Structure 1
Amino acid sequence: MHMQLLPEDFVLMFDRTDTGPSNISLPALAPCADTVDGADCTAHSVLLDVRSNVLHPYPLATNPWCSSGALLPNGTLHQTDGFSSGDLVARLFSPATGWFNLEYFPHADAAPPLTVFPFLDETTVPDAENNLYPFLHLLPDGTVFVFANDRAIVFDPYNRAPLRRLPPVPGGVPRNYPSSGSSVLLPLRPDAPAHAEVLVCAVRRGKRTTWRCGTARS
């Protein structure tokens, strides 16, 4: 399940569309989705108005399972990829327009070259999947914070190279899936807009389940 805080005190929540109907019906005139089990006229995407505590259902045409996304400068959510019908799909969402899909048609001769990214090889542990779904956050200076397993780097997307490596997590505890981790870019401060902190948390399972969190500073 995905959850995204939007401007003006809205929270968007949405989930995969291939596990059957949800418990929330779509508005009467909203289009139903065609599935192998027939028409699905339930909502797999809802918008919560925090101020009024009202939930608004929205139709979602493609499957966003295992997708990723980020807010654009105007507050619109740009959601990319997914599974099955959502594969190779880009979606935009705003409370005013709802969801709509985008298609890109790049010229073959203008496509940028592929970038070799050895960081994911470096964070791979044999017989373990501790670096799946890396955490990425766009930093104020245009660089990208990338976290995988128990390590992080700051990546320069313009020169396609790491700028610096951050200290590994103490204890070597992985934070990425399947360790049920999560991360968030903490709010920027007006008096120090270039200073960024990322909070990374994960569950460590053993004799008892404990949450472990740490911050990384850009």
Structure 2
Amino acid sequence: MEKALAPRLIVSFFIIQCLVLSSVLVEGQGTWQMLQRNAGVSAMHTAVTRFDTAIMLDRTNIGPSQIRLPGKRCRKQPLERFSKIDCYAHSVMFNPANGAVRPLYVQTDTWCSSGQFMSNGVMVQTGGDFEGNKKIRTLAPCSARGTCDWVETAQELTRGRWYASNHILPGGNRQIVVGGRNEPSYEFVPKRRAGEGAFNLPLLRGSADNLYPFVFLLPNGDFFVFANRDSVILNIGSGRVVKKLPRIPGNPRNYPSAGSAAMLPIKAPHNSVEILVCGGAGYGASRNADKGKPGSFSCGRINPTAANANWAMENMPIRRVMGDMVNLPTGEILIINGAQYGYQGWGKASSPVLQPVTYDGDAKAGKRFQTQRASGVGRVYHSTANLLSDGRVLVAGSNTHQFYTYRGTLPTELRVEAFAPAYLSANLNDCRPRIMEVPAAIGYRQKFNVAFLARSRVGYVEVNILSAPFTTHSYSQGQRAIKLAATVPGKSRGFWVTRVTGPPSSSVAPQQYYMLFCLQNGVPSRANWVRVG
């Protein structure tokens, strides 16, 4: 009798463990892992590829990095203002699996530039400083063993773009490039027609704190554009601003005031979405060069397409300037990196915020934030955070100096870490699903199966897809998370199988590669890369 009951008791124990551990958030969760102590460059810009490698970029006019170009190759750039002959790399391909670093060659200055993956997985990277101001660069990603590298195209931007933001368009073969220093306009790469130029955007005129504007594609195909404290809905077909939204209360939010923004997950029926904007420098900090001014606690949340759209305000548990906001597979948003005082710039901030915070948009007001375990590495100006397909968050960069400086309280940071949220706890291994079958490509409104294994089958099942953004200066360009409609799973051929419906349109999920996660009771699988559209 005891032998017959034992397996059932064991299964019951695992089920109870999954239900309890995955439904209770505890302050100070998550773990940190050092992946590489010297990546060679400080990652001002980072993007994770569908091969699970990470492209990292810094400026070129920074002098020697800590990694040389291979084969005694040197960059000869007569327009370079620091090293006209430079034998050091300023971009690398990083492998999070083993910490391996491969130098990449970039010809013109990528300082404070922008980028986005196209539908075929190619990174298109635009603008920068000085000789790189109008340049367009591409990189077709490859596996960790590959030799892919940057290519500078013959085509250039219409206007110089420094501190601009990019976003892919529905269709997946074109992106919009918005703003930049002294450029209150937007343009398209590639152009929609021969001879097309740039288009004025009054939102970006005549005010500070409007660089790296927050740009999000809405489910109806229009764009939400936010700069300083104001935002509009832009229809790119007509070129018209179709709606001006209320001003967010409090402080400025864009560079150099350094707030951050993310879209909450787009949920079925996928016809509306909310934007979250958090933190930033205290009012007047950058204008008055007040690097000791406390940063902001405040977050605002808005549904831009609602009839009476307005900002709902709440406070984070920690004030934060230069935080990065990362969509997690659970639907939460991770707020990580940054400082408590000052604003963006060389030596303009202090008191690094070592503790990440998660934001659960589905929780009640007052219960949405949870403080996570602290890192031992302070990351402020020019730091990045990107989701990996295994559910961890890749954290890199931080350089608050004009050149690489390895002394002082905030030295140039070459170390790369991974933050593992609580859902990767070893105690939840029995709950974690393992994807066994999923299509490599998903069509719009297509029905498809996701088959998974789990030691304990318990709770609800979700299937969520997340994009791979280009992250720089506290903003992840092109970042989005979509919760797909999924049925209660049944058993088939030894697997659990849920029937899933693809996203409804390219405005909800532009044609791109996405990380597809299967979640059981809030515990995500490792993702499979799938192409949508």
TM range (shorter): 0.7 to 0.9
**RMSD of the TM alignment (CA)?**
2.9
Alignment of 1:136-175 (within 5 A): 136-171=215-250, 173-175=251-253
Q: What is the DSSP-based 3-state SS (H/G/I as helix, E as strand, rest coil) of the residue aligned with 1:25?
A: coil
Alignment partner of 1:177 is 2:247: no
> Are 1:63 and 2:105 matched, yes or no?
no
Measured in 2, the distance between the counterparts of 1:216 and 1:182 equals: 14
Where does residue 120 of structure 1 map in the other structure? 204
Q: Structure 1 91/140 Cα, relative in aligned 2: closer, same or farther at 3 Å?
A: farther
Q: Note closer, same or farther for the CA distance 1:113–1:83 as it changes in structure 2 (3 Å cut).
A: closer
* Rounded Cα–Cα distance in structure 2 between residues aligned with 1:76 and 1:196: 27
Q: For residue 169 of structure 1, report the CA deviation from its aligned partner.
A: 1.6
Could you say if the C-alpha distance between residues 177 and 27 of structure 1 is closer, same or farther in structure 2, counting changes exceeding 3 Å? same
Question: Quick one: structure 1 residues 70 and 138, their matched pair in 2 at CA, closer, same or farther if it must change by over 3 Å?
Answer: farther
Shift of 1:113: 6.0
**Please, which of 200, 213, 218 is the counterpart of residue 277 of structure 2?**
200
Of 155, 158, 161, which residue of structure 2 is paired with 1:104? 155
1:138 to 1:49, Cα distance in 2 relative to 1, 3 A: farther
CA distance in 2, matches of 1:26, 1:211: 43
CA contact (8 A) 1:176 1:202 kept: no
Which structure has the larger Rg?
A: 2
The answer (yes or no) to whether the contact 1:65–1:82 under 8 Å persists in 2 is: yes
1:32 aligns with 2:116: no
Q: 1:147 to 1:160 in 2, by over 3 A?
A: same
Change (3 A) 1:39 1:137: same
Q: Which amino acid aligns with 1:143?
A: D
Alignment of 1:69-108 (within 5 A): 69-96=115-142, 97-104=148-155
- AA matched with 2:280: V
Relative distance call for 1:177 and 1:9 in structure 2 (3 A) is same
TM-score, scaled to structure 2 = 0.35
Aligned length: 209
Consecutive aligned runs of 4 or more in structure 1 exceeding 6 Å deviation: none
**Measured at CA, do residues 146 and 27 of structure 1 come closer, stay the same or move farther in structure 2, by a change above 3 Å?**
same
CA shift, 1:194, in A, is 5.0
**Which has the higher relative contact order, 1 or 2, with Cα contacts under 8 A spaced 6 or more apart?**
2
Change (3 A) 1:178 1:93: same
Determine what percentage of the aligned residue pairs are the same residue: 36
1:60 partner amino acid? V
Give the Cα–Cα distance (whole angstroms) in 2 for the partners of residues 211 and 74 of structure 1: 39
Amino acid aligned to 2:101: L
Give, in whole Å, the separation in 2 of the partners of 1:84 and 1:3: 21
